[in-house]
């Protein structure tokens, strides 16, 4: 592991800033989860996506998930109502002008993320921090697409965000101490545990998890076992809460493929080569739960293996 001995200092020399308002770009599974936990922790949240309908759908998801938390007595009804009032739609990036922290949670495609940063940076206040929820892409490289690499950091939440306790923090080569300290304080206020990762492809969790999933797909591809046998073996034999193929469907097969491609290209090691069967499923549009078909077919009353 490479240890960076000298970190850039803040441009202003100021101590960690106080985060009050957060902008979230992307109202899908990850973005809505980030907005959810942030609002429950007392932050004002502005939620953005490509359309008003997507934002409404994201807020509806948050409402439903918070209602489940109330029914399970994890939060009170008063806390749910107060948190929902803290979340407001942001149909354009101009709504982020007074935000202290922006978290990008768009699709795991570098070109998309870079285009977002190019569009959002001009409307942000000078000291606003930009965080990316990327699960695999270089933080240093993404930071170079902004006007504030010192104020850029990787904030990788685990899925589902309201339930998972871990957040990976990843500094780019230019990330300054103020940005790092401020982001640590934000994550701590969410009640999450921080794992520090260096800026290498896929960081820690996905560097370990995705090759395991890819190997499970190779095991299926080579006929060692069928979908049900592989998932049962890992649930009961390794005590995993979810089999690797079921987990791949939950993550999204397109995301799994993107992470494996980043690993393969970034580390130039054949052990990270995406399984051809994973490529075929993605080409077919069978991306898992979000498209109702992946390694399981979710269109009936219960999931049915597709192989």
Catalytic amino acids?
135, 156, 168, 206
Which of 229, 235, 223 shows the shortest CA–CA distance to 305?
Answer: 229
Distance in angstroms (rounded) separating the CA atoms of residues 167 and 161? 9
At 63, give phi and psi (nearest 5°): -60, -45
Distance in angstroms (rounded) separating the CA atoms of residues 126 and 151? 9
Q: Which residue has the tokens 């070109």?
A: 111
DSSP 192: P
| Size of the chain in residues | 307
91: its two tokens = 């149909």
Distance in angstroms (rounded) separating the CA atoms of residues 92 and 217? 40
Interacting residues of 307 by C-beta distance below 8 A, sequence separation 6+: 220, 226, 227, 295
Is there a contact between 103 and 25 (Cβ–Cβ < 8 Å)? yes
First to last CA, the chain: 40
Give the Cβ contact number of residue 9 at 10 Å. 11
Q: Cα angle at 94 between 160 and 187, to 5 degrees?
A: 35
């Amino acid at each position: 592991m490479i240890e960076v001995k000298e970190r850039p200092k803040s441009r202003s020399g100021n101590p960690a800033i106080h985060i009050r308002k957060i902008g979230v770009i992307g109202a899908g599974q990850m973005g809505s989860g980030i907005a959810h936990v942030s609002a429950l922790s007392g932050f004002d949240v502005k939620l953005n996506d490509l359309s008003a309908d997507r934002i409404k759908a994201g807020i509806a998801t948050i409402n439903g998930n918070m209602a489940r938390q109330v029914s399970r007595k994890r939060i009170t009804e008063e806390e749910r109502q107060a948190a929902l009032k803290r979340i407001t739609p942001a149909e354009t990036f101009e709504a982020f002008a007074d935000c202290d922290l922006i978290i990008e949670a768009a699709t795991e495609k570098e070109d998309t993320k870079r285009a977002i940063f190019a569009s959002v940076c001009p409307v942000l206040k000078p000291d606003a921090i930009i965080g990316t929820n990327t699960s695999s892409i270089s933080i240093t490289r993404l930071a170079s697409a902004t006007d504030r690499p010192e104020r850029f950091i990787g904030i990788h939440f685990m899925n589902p965000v309201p339930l998972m306790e871990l957040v990976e923090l990843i500094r780019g080569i230019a990330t300054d101490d103020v940005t790092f300290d401020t982001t640590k304080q934000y994550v701590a206020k969410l009640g999450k545990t921080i794992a520090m990762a260096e800026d290498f492809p896929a960081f820690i969790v996905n560097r370990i998890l995705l090759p395991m999933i890819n190997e499970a797909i190779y095991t299926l591809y080579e006929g060692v076992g069928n979908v049900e046998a592989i998932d049962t073996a890992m649930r009961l034999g390794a005590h995993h809460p979810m089999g690797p193929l079921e987990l791949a469907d939950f993550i999204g097969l397109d995301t799994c493929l993107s992470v494996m491609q980043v690993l393969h290209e970034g580390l130039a090691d054949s052990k990270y080569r995406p399984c051809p069967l994973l490529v075929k499923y993605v080409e077919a549009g069978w991306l898992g739960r979000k498209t109702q078909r992946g390694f399981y077919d979710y269109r009936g009353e219960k999931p049915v293996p597709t192989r």
